[in-house]
Structure 1
Amino acid sequence: MEQMHVISLGAGVQSTTMLLMAARGEIEPKPKYAIFADTGWEPLHVYEYLKWLEKEAAKHGVQVIRVSNGNIRDDVYDHLRGDKKRIASMPFFTLDENGEKGMVMRQCTQEYKIAPIHREVRRLLGVGPRGRIPEGAVVMWMGISLDEIERMKPSRKKWMEHRFPLIEKNMDRVACTTWLRRNRYRVPPKSSCIGCPFHDDIAWLELKRNNPEEWMEAVYFDRKIRNLPKLKGQAFLHRSCVPLEEVDLSENQGTLDLFANECEGHCGL
């Protein structure tokens, strides 16, 4: 079986730069496929940019494939109504009756990002769910830049190895945006779910100011998750464990951008 190179596409700055560099022959060998795992709850501007990127990549012989394991927001609502017994948990912040804060175990990246991509790779190889794939048959390109080196992780699959072309090129996020502008490409927006708990206050404030409809989606979602079934305590999107619409986003609350630390190289790249 010929080794297959595939791009894990998050449609953010880093993975977009990596894809376009490969398409233009600046990183070799050029992959035939770039796979975008759609959680169903990305901001509208991400989907708009992705449409352009699909066309641009196709000009250079790279096919962008969208895959999905459902709509993460709708699945939570179905669970709350009792129509869905199990969901992949999101990393909600929790507050118990004693005032202790915690965090829900995160399963969403695995089930809405990683698993659909791996399933599509098997389809492209023509190998079923239980079929054996030779060791090292797939090289998955990950859009992790030099300033995110802590996110580099080896593949857990023997048949897949991870490659980090931006690290190889000594490129950080600034270098990626510089490359995009130098080549007259529009810099893509950050890709992540509208209601991702890993948003920092800057991201929440930007959403509130620039995308009021999506902000209200997140506010409504935050209200609905307050008393999730089988969860001890209340759930919140904001790490302060305050209802999202009540958070003072203009104040420095000592927050960190958890997104980069927790995404495992699949979300928001």
Structure 2
Amino acid sequence: MSAQPAFRTLSLGAGVQSTTLFFLAAEGRIPRPDVAIFADTGWEPAAVYAHLDRIEREIAQPAGIPILRVTVGDIRADALDPAHKFVSMPTFTIGPCQVCIPRGTLGSVFNLTAEIDGKEYTDYTGVCPRCKGRGTQHGMGQRQCTPEYKIRPIKKKVRELLGYPHPMSIPADVHAEQQVGFSRDELGRVKDSGLRYLRSVFPLLSLEGAADGRQGWTRADCRRYLKAHGWESTPRSACVGCPFRGNREWREMRDERPAEWADAVAFDHALRAIPRADGIREYLHASRVPLDEAPIGRVTSHEWKSRQTDIFGQIADAELELGNPDGCGPWACRSGAAA
């Protein structure tokens, strides 16, 4: 691999950290990228697209840094396509109970004998006598959003810019450098791209001037910087129907962006209209009830302190209420545990 990259790109998620990176690059405080790449899932909130347009208009164009928007399709449409090859989003799921499993689907006709809670059922028909068709196995769908809708189109564009589109082999001494906006408070997510032709660097980690005097900026430092430049309204980058939204975000969407709320509710219902041989049902809210019926009312700090276990057995009270602070970064989903 050569010492110098063929070009430098900025990984633009249009959230707090990557917007800060773009500002710093335009000011000359970090090396200037040749391009910035935004991977579009096709279902970002209107505020994210408006924010991206503002970045392009007020930062990118004056600085002469082009923004390339890339996509592999519409995540909303793909998630509702029965022929799609994988579960596109990390939805909350309910699967069949142990008695349902032999026949594979909830609500199907059963013809078997089973002892359930001391009572024997012989050749029963209809819904499962144990779970009444509700299912009992709670889980989550695979988190495929980031690799499929963010990383894949970025890789394709980088190969094209290097002059070696797939399936051409890229010479060992050819690579691009990619600026990624991980901040000091998310060191657990920092990793290289894993691609020989795309070397990641993390400029925020080496910056001076953090509020606590340490090397490297935190997300709070980035927010402070953006506020000083008149960009305190930088939105969270996450799909309209991202299951990692907290109750506060769902309420804000319902009350302030009714069109997006209606879209998310319709999508949530459509998820369960898809026939599935495994009997699994998908939901956007951790309560595993339809979104328009989900308990998204405010949870007070007193209630948080009084509860000794996690709500619904999976998500802590504070996280259920507030959600994750940022959203979908091109090289890591910032929602939930690092994956």
TM-score scaled by length of structure 1: 0.89
Matched with 1:206 is 252
Q: Distance in 2 between matches of 1:40 and 1:85?
A: 16
Report % sequence identity: 37
For residues 121-157 of structure 1, what are the alpha-carbon distances to aligned partners after superposition, in whole Å with 9 as ceiling and x for unaligned? 1111111202233357122111111222221122211
Task: Identify the match of residue 165 of structure 1 among 203, 211, 224.
Answer: 203
Normalized per residue, the structure richer in helix is: 1
- Bigger shift: 179-188 or 233-242? 179-188
Q: Give the letter aligned to residue 265 of structure 1.
A: W
Tell me, yes or no, if structure 1 residue 236 matches structure 2 residue 236. Answer: no
Correspondence for 1:96 = 95
Superposed CA offset, 1:106-129 (max 9, x none): 222111110001111111111120
1:10-64 deviation digits (Å, cap 9, x = unpaired):
1011101111111110112x00111000011001111111111112212112111
> Runs of 4 or more off by more than 4 Å in structure 1?
258-264, 266-269
1:22 to 2:25 alignment: yes
1:64 equivalent among 59, 64, 67: 67
Q: In 1, are the aligned partners of 2:189 and 2:332 still within 8 Å (CA)? A: no
Q: For 2:269 and 2:16, how far apart are their aligned partners in 1?
A: 31
Backbone CA RMSD of aligned residues: 2.4
Indicate the residue corresponding to 1:10 in structure 2.
13
Partner in structure 1 of residue 36 of structure 2: 34
Over 3 Å counting, the alpha-carbon distance change for 1:262 and 1:63 in structure 2 is: closer
8 Å contact from structure 1 (residues 92, 236) kept in 2: yes
The TM-score normalised by the length of structure 2 is 0.72
Q: C-alpha distance in 2, partners of 1:66/1:264? A: 12
Higher radius of gyration, 1 or 2: 2
CA contact (8 A) 1:192 1:268 kept: no
Going from structure 1 to structure 2, the CA distance change for 1:101 and 1:227 (only over 3 Å counts) comes to farther
| SS of match in other structure, 2:226 | helix
Deviates more, 1:240-249 or 1:33-42: 240-249
Partner deviation per Cα, 1:206-246 (whole Å, 9 max, x = no partner)? 21221111011111101111254344421111122121111
Q: Which runs of 5+ in 2 are unaligned?
A: 98-135, 208-215, 300-310
Contact 1:136/1:161 (8 A) holds in 2: no
Aligned twin of 1:105: 142
Query: Residues 17 and 183 of structure 2 are in contact (CA less than 8 Å); yes or no, is this contact kept in structure 1?
Result: yes
Q: CA 1:32 to 1:163, structure 2 compared with 1: closer, same or farther past 3 Å? A: same
Q: How far apart in 1 are the matches of 2:328 and 2:37?
A: 20
- Change in Cα spacing, 1:67 to 1:268, as seen in structure 2 (3 Å) is farther
- Return closer, same or farther for 1:86/1:21 CA change in 2, 3 Å cut-off: same
Alignment of 1:245-256 (within 5 A): 245-252=292-299, 253=311, 254-255=316-317, 256=319
Number of equivalent positions: 264
In structure 2, what is the Cα distance between the partners aligned to 1:171 and 1:36? 22
Q: Structure 1's 38 and 74: CA in aligned 2 closer, same or farther, altered over 3 A?
A: same
- Could you tell me which of 107, 121, 145 is aligned with 2:183? 145
